[in-house]
Amino acid sequence: MKLTGQKAQVFIDSFDNTSIIDSGDTIEKTKYFVIAKGDLSDIPVPAGTIFVSPKDSANQITLVSGDRLFKINEERFCKTSASFEFSFGSVDVGDDCDPGATISDGILTFSGSLAGLFRYDDVTNEFDEVTDIIVNKFLDIVEDDGSGAYVIHPRNDSQVYILTLLNSGTKTGQTEQWLFAPININSMSMSMGNTDAQAKELSFSKGEGNVVIYKLKK
């Protein structure tokens, strides 16, 4: 079986201190990024990695001293195209016995690009949540209600988390394949031709944490 790129769905979230938990229990079927683990932690993956809490409320993980999780509230990025690249650097180990030989430096580089359309709420004409997150990475946002109330959202360059469901449409009992990565958005371009839809294109590189494939039984 082979799938088209249309089957890959992209979700993003931006780091927010209010979504950090360090006590209590996890919430069922919730995605978490592990910031830190305590000595007696029951968190099943290393720090810097994502996991999904169990689907049954009776089997949740109780956090211990030293545990810190970021609760990911992913928002759909409706893409027109997406491209990811993985690479390792190389170290020259050539000598006169083996000229030109190299070995991997073991340092993973992850980068890519996403393209999509500007999306507006049908009723309010506000940007959708994903567009707001992305624009706020580069620009301050000022909200003016027209009646003298102003809210300023300073530019927020915090890390972004990208989750790509590679095989959307799976059924109960099948396995979802998620590509997870912490990223930094490096650039955003906007196109607004008179006869084209308003569009944005992003480029990004790996942030702090691990890039993983997460296999989730549905």
- Residues in the chain, pLDDT under 70: none
Q: What's the predicted TM-score (pTM) here?
A: 0.89
Residues near 124 by beta carbon (within 8 Å), at least 6 away in sequence? none
Strands (E), 15-140: 20-21, 31-36, 50-52, 68-71, 75-77, 79-92, 102-117
Residue given tokens 């079927």 in the structure block: 29
Architecture of the 5-14+74-217 domain: Beta Barrel (2.40)
* DSSP secondary structure code for residue 75 in this structure: E
Residue partners of 72: CB distance under 8 A and separation at least 6 = 13, 19, 30, 31, 32, 33, 50, 161, 163
Q: Domain ranges in the chain?
A: 5-14+74-217
